[in-house]
Amino acid sequence: MALDYDPSIIGKVFEETDPVAVSAQEIKDFCAAVGETNPWYTDEAAARKGPYGEVVAPPMFALTFRNGRHFFQNIPHFGKGGFDAGRDVEFVKPVRAGDQITLVSHVKEIYEKTGRSGAMYFVTVRSTVKNQNKEVVAHIDHRFMGRL
């Protein structure tokens, strides 16, 4: 059974989020939750000597910005149960406390593959993460998969 979807959704932006403010407390909470002790992310004096010149969020903090889910509406089979398959992230600029973050998301690709466990489909949603200066902070590819 082929995946039922409208191919015109590929490449089209399906969501641009409202800006989300990043607070210093959120970055601290994230650091605490993953046991972060790296001085570039936790220590002002040490961070000044590092590549960013000040405390920034750990790179993986970028994954806490949620991509939209509206593309589900256009991929009926996906709505019947898919799995989160992974993330590919390119880090362009660090996130700092006080940033206003926006995600612009589109379906990058959809494909099918048959493996040992049967026919599967794969959906990649690309979110471009930007700050208040319209600078790209990161590109995040959210990969999902499901059974056909």
Partner 1 sequence: MSGKEVKTLENIQIGDNIGPQPLFLAKDSVRAYCNAAGLAGVPRFTDDELARKEGLPGMITPGNMSAALIGKLVTDWAQPANGRLVRIGTTYRSPVLPEHNLSLQGFVTQVDHSEHTAEVDIWIENEDGDRLVTATATVKFEPKA
The binding site for partner 1 (CB under 8 A) comprises 26, 29-30, 32-36, 38-40, 49-51, 58-61, 63-64, 66, 83-91, 143
Smaller CB distance to partner 1: residue 32 or 119? 32
Give how far the C-alpha of residue 78 lies from the chain's centroid of Cα atoms, to the nearest Å: 19
Hey, which residues does 112 pair with through a beta bridge?
Answer: 121
Angle at 91 between CA 89 and CA 92, to 5 degrees: 140
Nearest CA to 120 among 147, 139, 86? 147
Burial of 115 (0-12, 13-18, 19+ CB in 10 A): exposed
Smaller CB distance to partner 1: residue 10 or 36? 36
Smaller CB distance to partner 1: residue 107 or 140? 140
CB of 50 to partner 1, least distance (A): 7
CB of 7 to partner 1, least distance (A): 25
CB of 8 to partner 1, least distance (A): 28
CB of 6 to partner 1, least distance (A): 27
Q: What is the DSSP letter of 110?
A: E
Cα–Cα distance list, 35 to 38, 57, 145 (Å): 9, 13, 30
Owner of token pair 């903090």: 61
CB of 36 to partner 1, least distance (A): 6
